[in-house]
Structure 1
Amino acid sequence: MSTFTSSTSINRPIHEVYAFLADFNNHQKLMPDNIQEWISTADEAHFSIQNMAKLSLKIESRMPDQEIIIVPAAKPPFDLKLKWSLSFDNDHTDILFTIDADLNMMMKMLASAPLQKLADHETNSLTEILS
């Protein structure tokens, strides 16, 4: 299993950050420009990655003001799990975004950089939107 992480800290109450992340409709705002054909509900999202693959994701579990776990809704090219972990410290919310991907050696060489870039892009976008 390969793990890609990115963290940020936002000067907002944890319940506001959680409320934003708990609704999959908001995740389109976090995605990079190569994400196309976005269709979502509060619990699921379907989209394509330009010149690559189509993905369907769903929120598997929500722990209010703590954690959101996202898993594939349909069979992906490789197994993966996305997790948003939240904690509140004084006047800001600390956020850790983790992508766990089951990559074989060839896929690891091809997908590691884009997956880390995605993790960083999502946390940077979240910071811009909620700051």
Structure 2
Amino acid sequence: MTIIQNNVVINKPIGDVYAFLADLNNHEQLMPENIYNWTSTVDEARFTIKNMAKLALKISQRVENKEIVCVPSEEAPFEIKLAWRLEEQGAGTKATFVIEAQLNMMMKMMASGPLQKLVDHQVQRLKETLG
């Protein structure tokens, strides 16, 4: 299992950060420019990663003010789980974005760099979006 993660501290109450992340409609704001054909509901999102793949994700678990977990809702190129984990940090919130992917050695060499960039981009955009 390959685990890729990054975190950021946001100067907002944990409830505000959780409410934003618990709605997949908001996740489009966190995506890099190479994501297009975005459609979403509160529980599901579909999009295309330029020159890579189409993905459909659904929220499989919500633990209020703690964690939001997404898994593919259709067949994906590899087994993957995306999770936002939240914890209070002073007056703010520490948000950690974790991608767990079942990658063989070849896929790991090809995908781990872009996945790390995605994680880094999303935590930075979350901080910019929520201030």
Scaled to the shorter chain, the TM-score interval is: over 0.9
Q: CA RMSD in A?
A: 0.5
Alpha-carbon displacement from aligned partner over 1:36-69 (angstroms, at most 9, x marks no partner): 1000000000010011100000000100000000
Answer yes or no: is the 8 Å Cα contact 2:8–2:94 preserved in 1: yes
Measure, in 2, the Cα distance between the counterparts of 1:6 and 1:90.
19
How many percent identity over aligned positions? 53
Alpha-carbon displacement from aligned partner over 1:71-105 (angstroms, at most 9, x marks no partner): 00001000000010001122110111100000011
Answer yes or no: is the 8 Å Cα contact 2:59–2:70 preserved in 1: yes
Work out whether 1:98 is the aligned partner of 2:91.
no
> What residue number does 1:22 align with?
22
Measure, in 1, the Cα distance between the counterparts of 2:89 and 2:21.
18
- Give the SS at the match of 1:20: helix
1:1-131 matches, within 5 Å, as: 1-131=1-131
- Give the SS at the match of 2:61: strand
Measure, in 2, the Cα distance between the counterparts of 1:30 and 1:89.
22
Answer yes or no: is the 8 Å Cα contact 2:9–2:89 preserved in 1: no
Measure, in 2, the Cα distance between the counterparts of 1:23 and 1:68.
10
Of 84-93 and 14-23, deviating more is 84-93
Q: Which amino acid in structure 2 is aligned with residue 61 of structure 1? A: Q
Gaps of 5+ in 2: none
**How many aligned residue pairs are there?**
131
TM-score, normalization: structure 2?
0.99
TM-score, normalization: structure 1?
0.99
Q: Which amino acid in structure 2 is aligned with residue 32 of structure 1? A: P
